Structures are given as structure tokens and as C-alpha cells.
Amino acid sequence: MKLAAFAVALLAAGPAFAQTAPAAPATQAAPARWSGLTVAEITGRLTAAGLTVAPPQMNADRVYLRVTDGEFRWVATLFSCTNGSCPDVQFTAAFSGPNATPEIISRWNGSRRFVKAFYAEPEAAGGEAQAVAQYDVLLSRGAGPEQLDDPIQVWRSLSMDLGRTVTTPEGAAATAPN
């Protein structure tokens, strides 16, 4: 009985529910392409973080920056660079060691966010397998070079953690399931 009363009330109020929604407010059109940051701005932020950056190497629309952080070496790849600006960057590092196994890398990934690792087979017979870490960062229009500060710190912390996990017995023990 209550359901029937509700249905009648709903039908009686029909015209109120049938109104059309107001038009959406006008918004600015999204930019056709994110402008990103210049190679000099990206290099400057990496250097400001205490890293050593080799001169850029270019290949088509990509720019490669070799980065040294103490004994730790990695590459920043700048993608889709046009008109002097690059809208996204990928940090990549590879680690060889006794714990570079699919199982340990999978456990490491399962308890971390943002930076992800994958297993890379040895390139040649008798070679070492590797754990490869990658972190993709989109660069926003107008946010300035300081938008890289947090991603650089996340990258340094997690990629070094993967390096310890792969190269030391203590690192593998830290990723062991409880």
C-alpha cells in the first residue's frame, strides 16, 4: 500500500521531474596540448635537487638525460617534446642483483605505489636479470618547474628502495610476505 501511494505521488509530481537541466556554464576550451617544461627547466630542477645531469641527448621527439645521484645512475626520458617544451617525463633505472627475480619484484610492486618495477630477462646467455623501475610524470601547463620537486623525491626514495631490495639479502627480506 505504501509503495502504491509513493508511485501515485511520483506520477502526480511528474512535470516537476521532467524539467530540463539548465545549460552548463561556459568554460574555457582545454588546451590542445600540454606545454610542459623546457629541457633547461627540467635539468635545473634535477640539479637543484642535488643531482648531476649529463648534457641532453636527443632522438626524434625524445630527450634523454643521464642522471647521477651518488653511486645511483638513472635516465630521465622527456617525451613528445615540441617547440622547446616537453609535456611528460619518465624516470627509469635498472638494477642487477641476486634478488632480481619475478617473485621479489612482484612483492615489491604489491606494497608500493607510484614507482613500478618489472622483471627484465638477461640480454645474453649467462647475463644477469634486472629489476627495472619506472615512474611517469605528467607536467602541467603553467605549474612551473617546482612541480617536479615531489616526484623527484618520490622517485629517489622508491627507486633506491628497489635497488636495495634487488642487491642485498636484507632488501629481499624486507619484501618477504608476513
pLDDT the model gives residue 177: 65
Residue matched to cell numbers 645511483: 72
Inter-CA distances, 15 with 5, 9, 12, 20, 108, Å: 18, 12, 8, 10, 58
pLDDT along the chain (178 residues), means of 10: 35 39 39 75 97 95 95 96 91 96 96 96 90 96 92 97 92 70
Angle between helices 102-110 and 149-167 (to 10 degrees): 140
Which long-range CB contacts under 8 A does 135-138 form with residues at least 24 apart? Answer: 135/90, 135/91, 135/159, 136/88, 136/89, 136/90, 137/88, 137/89, 137/90, 137/91, 138/34, 138/87, 138/88
**What are the boundaries of each domain within the chain?**
35-174
pLDDT the model gives residue 9: 36
Domain 35-174 in CATH 3.30.1460: yes
